[in-house]
Amino acid sequence: MPNLSFPRSKDDIDSRVVYAAGAAILIPVTTKLFQSWFRRDVHTSYSNVFTGSVSLLNNNDSVLKREEVKDSIDEYEDLFDGARKENGVITSSESIQKREKEYQTMVNSFYNLVTDFYEWGWGQSFHFAPRVVGETFMESIKRAEFFLALKAGFGKGDKVIDVGCGVGGPLRNIAQFSKASITGVTINEYQVKVGNKYCEQKGLTDCNLIQGDFQKLKETFEPESFDAAYAIEATCHSPDRVQTFSGVAHCLKKGGVFVGYEWIVLPERGFDPNNKDHVRVKEGIEVGNGLPTLATAADVVKALEDSGFEVLEYYDANANVHSEFEIPWYQTLKGTYDLSGFRMTRIGRICTHIMVTTLEFLRIAPRGTTKVSALLNATALDLVEGGMEEIFTPSFFFKAVKK
pLDDT digits (tens, 9 = 90+) for 240-280: 999 999 999 999 999 999 999 999 999 999 999 999 999 99
41 against 303, higher pLDDT? 303
Per-residue confidence (pLDDT) for residue 178, from 0 to 100 = 98
- Say if residues 256 and 228 touch (Cβ distance below 8 Å): yes
Per-residue confidence (pLDDT) for residue 46, from 0 to 100 = 65
% of residues, the chain, pLDDT over 70: 84
pLDDT digits (tens, 9 = 90+) for 24-66: 444 443 344 344 434 444 455 566 655 666 677 777 788 888 8
Q: Which helix (H) or strand (E) covers residue 11, if one does?
A: helix 10-38
51 against 225, higher pLDDT? 225
Mean pLDDT of 69-81: 93
Per-residue confidence (pLDDT) for residue 38, from 0 to 100 = 43
Of the candidates 93, 78, 85, 74, the residue with the CA atom closest to the CA atom of residue 293 = 93
Q: How far apart are CA 392 and CA 384, in angstroms?
A: 10
Query: What would you report as the CA-atom Rg of the chain, rounded to the nearest whole angstrom?
Result: 24
Per-residue confidence (pLDDT) for residue 293, from 0 to 100 = 96
- Residue 319: pLDDT over 70: yes
Mean pLDDT of 330-341: 66
Angle at 372 between CA 87 and CA 82, to 5 degrees: 20
Of the candidates 371, 283, 320, the residue with the CA atom closest to the CA atom of residue 87 = 283
Q: How far is CA 319 from CA 140, 166, 269, 326, in A?
A: 16, 26, 9, 10
Mean pLDDT of 162-190: 97
Domain boundaries 46-403, CATH class = alpha beta
Q: Which helix (H) or strand (E) covers residue 256, if one does?
A: strand 252-265
- Say if residues 249 and 402 touch (Cβ distance below 8 Å): yes
Angle at 241 between CA 187 and CA 373, to 5 degrees: 50
